[in-house]
Structure 1
Amino acid sequence: MIRTAHWLGYAGLIPFIGLTLGKELSPLTAVAFSTYSAIILSFLGGIHWGVALSKPQWSTPTRLCLCMLPSLLGWMALLLPMSGALTLLIGSYLIWWLWDRTQLDQPDYRRLRLQLTAVVVICHLIWLIQT
């Protein structure tokens, strides 16, 4: 995997960590955190969508529908009270990480996703505990 992907992945953690550390600064911080989280979750589904479109054996209606789940779950989370949103987002990140492990066999990508998902889930847990 190219180095740029690693740097961009780690840079994507900045809003999660920054908003978690600054959660008391503004009431809008919670909205910013959950919205950013839903967007990133949707992005993870888009990765599988791109793979499905590039590999004919993956381009099945079932797989393409599954690729839409992160977007729908992220959107649903935004409609819930904060504790419900955080719980749904944590579960979605963990389930999608498990799905990634069974579907994408690139060790470098798997390692990166594990690291990124761990930090994201920890940030969500901090929010959940303090909500």
Structure 2
Amino acid sequence: MTIRLPHDRVNQIRQLSYRYKRQHTDNMLMNKTAYLLGLSGLIPFVGLTVLMHQSWAVTYFLSYSAVILSFLGGIHWGVALQDDKWSNSWRLCLCMLPSLLGWVALLLPVALAFALLFVAYALWWGYDYSQVKNGDYRQLRRCLSIVVLVCHGSWMFFVIF
């Protein structure tokens, strides 16, 4: 015995299936893009760490680090403006902290700048982990944060010793 569905019902099921496949494909593409961009964002950190014996590398590294730290605060700023449950004065003010810390780091002596940036990245990684439940984002941030912290730690060791 075969069950026959009305033609319009079959079309609805096909459309839902197509939408699901398309959304799933778009999400996979977005995740691949996020990973690719995130990993490529490590190139200046790693490259400048390898070139730390060059006198100009310290300025470039600190500048890039301050910019990326500001970007991390901007991620939460954008979410706070779009999502009512995240939108409050405290969260918006907190989202400004990475930008301010990055700027202050550029005004400090080099050893203190590296220490401040190291602590800021570590704390913001913890904040991200506590606020964002998306497993893909957490995995990406863990990978990126570990590399960034290792680079900063290497620079601190180089500058101090």
TM-score, with structure 1 as normaliser: 0.97
Taking the TM superposition and a 5 Å limit, the aligned residue runs for 1:8-27 are 8-25=37-54, 27=55
Amino acid at match of 1:94: A
Is it true that 1:117 corresponds to 2:145 in the alignment? Answer: yes
Question: Residue 84 of structure 1 is aligned with which of 112, 124, 145?
Answer: 112
Moved over 6 A (4+): none
Gaps of 5+ in 1: none
For structure 2, which runs of at least 5 residues remain unmatched after alignment?
Answer: 1-29
Alignment equivalent of 2:73, drawn from 38, 45, 65: 45
CA contact (8 A) 2:42 2:147 kept: yes
1:23 positional shift: 1.3
TM-score, L = length of structure 2: 0.79
Q: Distance in 1 between matches of 2:158 and 2:85?
A: 45
Superposed CA offset, 1:81-114 (max 9, x none): 1110000000000000000011011011001101
Identity in percent: 54
Letter in 1 for 2:106: L
- Asked whether 1:98 is paired with 2:126, we answer yes
Deviation sequence 1:17-64 (CA, Å, 0-9, x none): 000001113x22100000000000000000000110110111101100
Match of 1:54 among 82, 87, 98: 82
Correspondence for 1:4: 33
In structure 2, C-alpha distance between the alignment counterparts of 1:15 and 1:107, rounded to whole Å = 26
Alignment of 1:57-76 (within 5 A): 57-76=85-104
Distance in 1 between residues matched to 2:134 and 2:46, nearest whole Å: 27
CA RMSD of aligned residues (A): 0.8
Query: Matches of 1:69 and 1:92 in 2, distance apart?
Result: 9
Which of structures 1 and 2 has the bigger CA Rg? 2
Which fold has the larger relative contact order, with Cα–Cα distance below 8 Å and residues 6 or more apart in sequence?
Answer: 1
The answer on whether the counterparts of 2:31 and 2:136 sit within 8 Å (CA) in structure 1 is no
